[in-house]
Amino acid sequence: MARKRKRSGDGINTPLDLTVEILHRLPAKSLVRTRCVSKQWRTIIDDYIVKNSVVTRSLSQPSPDAPHFILDTLLDCGVVFSYTYSRQIRSERNQIVEKMFAMTATAREFQYVRGLIGFWSCTRGQFTLHNPTTRRSVPLPDTGIPPRRFYLFGYDPMRNQYKVACIARPTSEPTQSCKVFTLGDLGKEWRNIKCCIERHSPFGTAVCIGGTIYYTATAENQRKVIISFNVVSEKFSHVFQVPEKLNVRYGKSSLVNYQGKLGCICSNYLNNEDMDVWVMENAEKQEWSKITHMAVLQGIPRSMCRFGVTHPGGEIVIVPYFYYYLGSEGYYYNPNINSRRSFVIQSPRLGGTDLVRIWPVTDPVENIMSLM
Instruction: List domains and CATH numbers for the chain.
Output: 16-46 (no CATH), 57-361 (2.120.10.80)
3-state secondary structure of 321: coil
Residue 9 has pLDDT above 50, yes or no: no
**pLDDT value for 126:** 83
Question: Cβ of 224: how many Cβ atoms within 10 Å?
Answer: 17
Task: Give the residue, 140 or 72, on which the prediction is more confident.
Answer: 140
Residues 6+ apart with CB under 8 A from 133: 28, 29, 32, 65, 66, 115, 366, 367, 368
Task: Give the residue, 368 or 88, on which the prediction is more confident.
Answer: 368
Confidence band for 58, pLDDT divided at 50, 70 and 90:
low
Q: What is the pLDDT of residues 349-361, one digit of tens each?
A: 666 667 788 888 8
Q: What is the mean pLDDT of residues 287-311?
A: 88
Q: Which of 143, 191, 197 is nearest to 170 (CA)?
A: 197
Please state, rounded to an integer, the average pLDDT across all residues of the chain: 79
Q: What is the mean pLDDT of residues 37-64?
A: 62
Q: Which of 207, 219, 148, 213 is nearest to 177 (CA)?
A: 148
- Could you tell me the CA-to-CA distances from 67 to 100, 344, 365 in Å, in that order? 11, 15, 8
**pLDDT value for 87:** 45
User: Where does residue 362 rank: exposed (0-12), middle (13-18), buried (19+ CB within 10 A)?
Assistant: buried
3-state secondary structure of 15: coil
3-state secondary structure of 44: helix
pTM over 0.75: yes
Gap between the Cα atoms of 270 and 289, Å rounded: 18
Question: Cβ of 221: how many Cβ atoms within 10 Å?
Answer: 5
Residues 6+ apart with CB under 8 A from 185: none
